[in-house]
Chain A
Amino acid sequence: MRKVAIVGIGHLPFGNLSKFDLVDIMSFASSDALDDAGIRKDRKIIDQVFVANVGAAILNNQTGVASSLVSRIDLEPAMAETVENGPASGASAIKCGYMAIASGLADVVMVTGGEVMRSVSGWKATDFVAMLLHPEAEYDYGLTLPAFAGMFTRLYMERYGLTEEELALVAVKDHENASRNPYAHVPYPCTLEGIYASPDAGIVNNLLADPLRLYGMCPVSDGAASLILCALDSPKMKHFKKKPPIRISGIGSATDTHCIHYRKDPLELKAVALSAERAYKMAGLGPQDISFAELHDAFVILELAISEEVGFFKKGKAREAVKKGITRIDGKLPINTSGGLKAKGHPLGATGVSQVFELAKQLRGEAETGRQVKDPKHGMAVNFGGFGNNVVTTICSKE
């Protein structure tokens, strides 16, 4: 199989971008990636474009987004398809890009993820995301992703003794990282006193899905991110001399039951564990080799649960790692250096691409002051689709 590298990265600040057209924001991030790769003039060397998006048809009244993007940034006659895999669409699109190159179908691939969700109210956006649940067994009963996350958190608390204070510490760490990330939707630091301990904390950090509070959940965000991938053995690599290539050393995905009630143990995220196992195997690495990670913390509980499923910590022990500062930027295993979905934001289709953007940025040593992991060698991203029913894990390494 051919080796695949990231040779260009682009990102738009996440936030409320609803005044822009969806394809506009995707073209901004894509142009950023073309510039980063140094191929704006030579962009026709791109053979294939994969676009990650979930809600264009529903939220933006638009279909055929990949074709539209290719036309908008003058990439015709490149092949182009849209990839939809719920909140894991971004990483799935990267996986498609990887497969296209590894199989020899393409040499250079652009992967762009984008979403404009703030064109509708927060309630409508939550309802739209809930459409990925089982229509009859879950959605029709009013279940939403925050509701599932609340129940998951409660069960985790009961089994492992997790406290609200420990959950708040995850948010504090994520916001600290986001405050140094120019692409973050919520680039404001928060403190344990402000969101947990003060007499005002109950209102400032109000309860949304018991026991999850405002600071336990990601915002509804708009945004776009883009990557350019190239086969390391391709003659076209000569175009990419501007930045060091970052290799995608492992990529794996896995599925689990659509209905959560079919799972023997709702706290067991089998698809996370299996996708990570597949990615580790491809990369020839294990959890001990990972220098830092971007984990899909749409809800802060997921940062803890995913970090355990991928083997960083034993079950129920991630909270201790957070308390000891192990997952901070200056800790032994920094997690969500970008601020995570929690504070950087979660524009569905863009999220998985943005996570790998962060891996590449860190591995190049280009992260902002105070946010750069010290001498990282391998980074891992876990993009979590559904409530853990379709998960993609990507490992990137310095070439």
Chain B
Amino acid sequence: MIVDDFEKRLRPPELNLNPYPPKVITLASGEKMVVREVQRQESAALLETIFPLIGVVDDYYDIVAVRMYSEVLGWHRFRVANEFVLVGAIEGEIAGIVTSRCVDRKVGMSLHTLTIKRGLRVGAQLFAAKMEHHLEFLNQREVWIVAESPNGFRRWMIEYGLENAEDRYPEIRHELGGVPTYILTKEIFNKVRNEKVTGVRPVPPEVLSTADVLRVPEEYPQIPGYRRNRQKRSAT
């Protein structure tokens, strides 16, 4: 089939990334958040989770959500090279999502961090997990990072003390928006690791199993009064 042949050509080459070993984080609320890698066949739950946030202007949820939606969809449809997606789930319910990809074996490129459950630093923990994956499990040299919100700039650029690579443009150029690229090197990461990366491994099986099936949130603190409409539409 010529279509299949074209499809093969449209798909990017893959590096066969190492898997991310799951971990569990006890949040300030006492809730256990399982952080694990998502498989492609689970992307529908992610897309359904992200979609309502595309309309939220506050705290730049709109731009982060719309970009993440395209990243997850692109990954699902094999249009992004070497991407991985991690999720934080509490009792199976999606509390946050991070997306990232590898430029090559040595360089990572952080995409987005989306927090659904707020007030518990879920986003900060998931971002740290993403960096942990790049630098420890994929054993990369560095990760390129940009921020698209003031919150992100404060949390990543300032709190991690990232290296500003503006003056190395275009040699170092993040794919997102042309905004200044910052770098997290292994050296910088090792300095802050003990203050940023948390979680326990291995995850007890009874806890890990709570995240076997990802559940889409029914409510969003970002959208007061929101209730997901789960009524099935008729096929006709």
Contact = CB atoms under 8 A, between A and B. Distances in A.
A193 B30 contact: yes
Nearest to B118: A188
B27 A204 contact: yes
Contacts of B235: none
B200 A199 contact: yes
B29 A191 contact: yes
Contacts of B150: 121
Where chain A touches its partner, the secondary structure class is: loop
A206 interface: yes
Contact of A191 (B28, B58, B125, B197): B28
A333 interface: no
B195 interface: yes
A202 B198 CA distance: 9
A189 interface: yes
A198 B28 CA distance: 9
A194 B154 CA distance: 24
A19 interface: yes
A204 B198 contact: yes
Contact of B26 (A19, A121, A189, A201): A201
B26 A190 contact: no
A190 B120 CA distance: 9
A195 B28 CA distance: 5
A188 B119 contact: yes
Nearest to B150: A121
Instruction: Name which of B29, B154, B197, B200 has the most chain A CB atoms within 10 A of its CB.
Output: B29
B26 A199 contact: yes
A contact residues, range: 20 to 34
Given A200-B198, A204-B198, A193 B154 contact: no
B83 to A, nearest CB: 27
A59 to B, nearest CB: 16
A152 to B, nearest CB: 24
A1 interface: no
A198 B119 contact: no
A132 B121 CA distance: 30
B114 interface: no
Interface string B179-197: 0000000000000000111
B25 interface: yes
Contacts, number: 54
A193 B120 contact: no
A280 interface: no
B217 interface: no
B26 A204 contact: yes
A23 to B, nearest CB: 21
B30 A194 contact: yes
A191 B198 contact: no
A360 B121 CA distance: 34
A204 B154 contact: no
A205 interface: yes
Interface string B113-131: 0000001110001000000
B154 to A, nearest CB: 7
Interface in B43-58: 58
Contact of B58 (A19, A121, A122, A203): A19
B120 A198 contact: no
Interface centre among A191, A194, A200 (most CB of B within 10 A): A200
A188 B29 contact: yes
A199 B200 CA distance: 8
Contacts of A200: 25-27, 198-200
A215 interface: yes
Contacts of B195: 203, 206
A194 B198 contact: no
Interface in A178-197: 186-191, 193-195
B198 A203 contact: yes
A188 B119 CA distance: 7
Interface string B5-19: 000000000000000
Given A200-B199, A200-B200, A190 B154 contact: no
A204 B199 contact: no
Interface in A149-203: 186-191, 193-195, 198-203
Contacts of B196: 203
5 contacts: A121-B150, A189-B29, A194-B30, A204-B121, A215-B28
Interface of A: 19, 121-122, 186-191, 193-195, 198-206, 215
Given A190-B29, A200-B25, 18 more contacts: A121-B154, A187-B119, A190-B28, A191-B28, A191-B29, A191-B30, A194-B27, A194-B29, A194-B31, A195-B28, A198-B30, A200-B26, A200-B200, A201-B26, A202-B198, A203-B195, A203-B198, A204-B28
Interface of B: 25-31, 58, 119-121, 125, 150, 154, 195-200
List 10 tightest A-B contacts by C-beta distance, closest first. Answer: A191-B30, A198-B26, A203-B198, A194-B28, A194-B30, A200-B198, A188-B119, A190-B28, A200-B26, A193-B30
